Amino acid sequence: MLKVLLFILIAIAYFAYIMPQYAGAYTASLEDKVERLKSIDEAKIVLLGNSNLAFGINSEMIEEELEMPVVNMGFHGSAGNVFHERMSRYNVTEGDIYIICHTDFADDDTISDAALCWSALENHIELWKILRTSDFYRMLKAFPVYLKKCLSLYIEDSGNIDPGIVYGRGAFNKYGDVCLQREGGNYTFEKRVEPPKINAITINRINELKKWMDESGATLLVASYPIGKGELTADENEFVNFQRDLEQKLDCEVISQYTDYMYEYKYFYDSEYHLSSEGADMRTAQLIEDIKNWKKWEY
């Protein structure tokens, strides 16, 4: 009992005097993304997924072409799909279009890296809405790891600093895109590029989210992520078969042809999902076309 009380007192002290320590970091962009999402009370387009969106979308292009406000909630692969999907719970307005751009559909329904998520949530209570009750144990277990890092940053007086690169808070524009200029060809593909896996856990959760969106007057869609196209990439037919399987299992529409999102390796920046600025514009143009085609069919 004494240990529990001591832990609670230490946690309170951290919340009051030491946090936040990641205000300038990449993960702190979540606060800005949520603020933008909460501020738009008209029909909007909201993109959900990992950093393939942060490093792969020009939201201004979408907004100008489709004449709807855009929020890019793209965050971090280590947070996990469920963390990204939960961002949809903030401000759903009738007429909203939420688009999931996952790079896999076979997660275990947990937050992958809870310590990393703490660096985004910190003592911003309004962000904790992302968490489900089932996430509390994993987050609590990772809390001491996060606290230790916070204390180290505090003692060294090195916390809350924006590194001034693409992995800093300042790299994002108002939409939630990483907007610093990025040249392609910096990443070397070394492993086989294959279609995503699919499992029932992920499919069922997305279908439940779709049902909730329908009840809220919003629409949930799925679109592709950028796929490296080259000698290490699986045959296009494998991606076609993956998409066919995905479409059969999901209740929401898949508006993309995944093979349309295959780009030569030279358009990738520093990972298999991060595009150069030029690549991001190409991917955005394709997404705009997909949304337009869906709207024609829908209306």
Q: Lay out the sheet containing 219-222: strands in order across.
A: 70-72, 45-48, 97-100, 219-222, 253-254
The stretch 182-198 carries a mean pLDDT of 96
22-81 pLDDT tens trace: 999 999 999 999 999 999 999 999 999 999 999 999 999 999 999 999 999 999 999 999
pLDDT number for residue 3:
57
154-174 pLDDT tens trace: 999 899 999 999 999 999 999
Question: How many CB atoms lie under 10 A from the CB of residue 133?
Answer: 6
End-to-end CA distance of the chain: 61
Domain ranges of the chain: 21-162+169-298
The stretch 187-201 carries a mean pLDDT of 98
pLDDT number for residue 296:
84
Q: What angle do helix axes 114-121 and 136-155 make, rounded to 10 degrees?
A: 60
Please name the fold of domain 21-162+169-298.
Rossmann fold (3.40.50)
CA angle at 272 for the pair 250 and 239, rounded to the nearest 5°? 40
Residues 238, 194: Cα–Cα separation, whole Å = 8
The rounded percent of the chain whose pLDDT value lies above 90 is: 90
With a cut of 60, say whether residue 2 has pLDDT above it: no
Cβ neighbours of residue 238 closer than 8 Å, sequence gap 6 or more: 194, 195
